[in-house]
Chain A
Amino acid sequence: SAVISQKPSRDICQRGTSLTIQCQVDSQVTMMFWYRQQPGQSLTLIATANQGSEATYESGFVIDKFPISRPNLTFSTLTVSNMSPEDSSIYLCSAAGGGSKRDTQYFGPGTRLTVL
């Protein structure tokens, strides 16, 4: 199984600013994903982080608001841009070793973001 770390673990930010969240995996993985978990809600997939190319965004999420980088097979970042209180959520990174539907996704501990 992959061990995934995220930084920061939590942050309190002002409206209109941006925050970059880092995700580090302890081994090379094919797939990396970013999810949002709004307070008291389930997980919603934001995007698939593609190594060496632009991320693939889900409906309702756009690159200008959530730019994602993935420079290599173990690291990705998610930026939450021009934040508003509605962006207050837990942001989770996940990774799967291969590209198969049979693979298991492992999750990081999450970043708890509060926007004032």
Chain B
Amino acid sequence: AQSVAQPEDQVNVAEGNPLTVKCTYSVSGNPYLFWYVQYPNRGLQFLLKYITGDNLVKGSYGFEAEFNKSQTSFHLKKPSALVSDSALYFCAGDREDTGFQKLVFGTGTRLLVSP
């Protein structure tokens, strides 16, 4: 992806409710897309990635993401949010200008899950 956008700075959801964190991308070819999570004072932890195949990708901690080519989106989802899911979430895509992987990151979305 040449660019990745996360349109929401913050998402608020109540514990137990489903959550969605949005991501859109721009690319002229086949995208490679990733989701990472960052907890306070921690590095980035890998959640899941889309390379090819099934549009619904399952990842760590019960998260999944749906790749939608027509809408150029890769939204992160979880059926039932936990307070411990509160963190900063980054969508990333592979840049197309190199033969090996180089990631471009979205601006991040802060997820707040209330008890």
Contact = CB atoms under 8 A, between A and B. Distances in A.
A11 B25 CA distance: 36
A1 B45 CA distance: 11
A45 B101 CA distance: 12
A96 B32 CA distance: 14
A101 B32 contact: yes
Centre residue among B49, B94, B100, B101 by max chain A CB count within 10 A: B101
A106 to B, nearest CB: 6
Interface stretch (B62-70, B72-80, B104-112): B104-112
Interface of B: 32, 34, 36, 41-46, 49, 51, 90, 94, 99-108
Contact of B101 (A1, A4, A31, A107): A31
B101 A43 contact: no
23 contacts: A31-B101, A41-B107, A42-B106, A42-B107, A42-B108, A43-B105, A45-B102, A45-B103, A45-B104, A92-B44, A94-B44, A99-B101, A101-B100, A102-B101, A105-B34, A105-B103, A107-B36, A107-B44, A107-B46, A109-B42, A110-B42, A110-B43, A112-B41
A2 B103 CA distance: 17
Interface string A66-102: 0000000000000000000000000010101001111
B101 A108 contact: no
A107 B100 CA distance: 17
Query: What 9 A-B pairs come out closest when comparing CB atoms?
Result: A107-B44, A109-B43, A107-B43, A43-B105, A99-B100, A101-B101, A42-B105, A110-B43, A42-B107
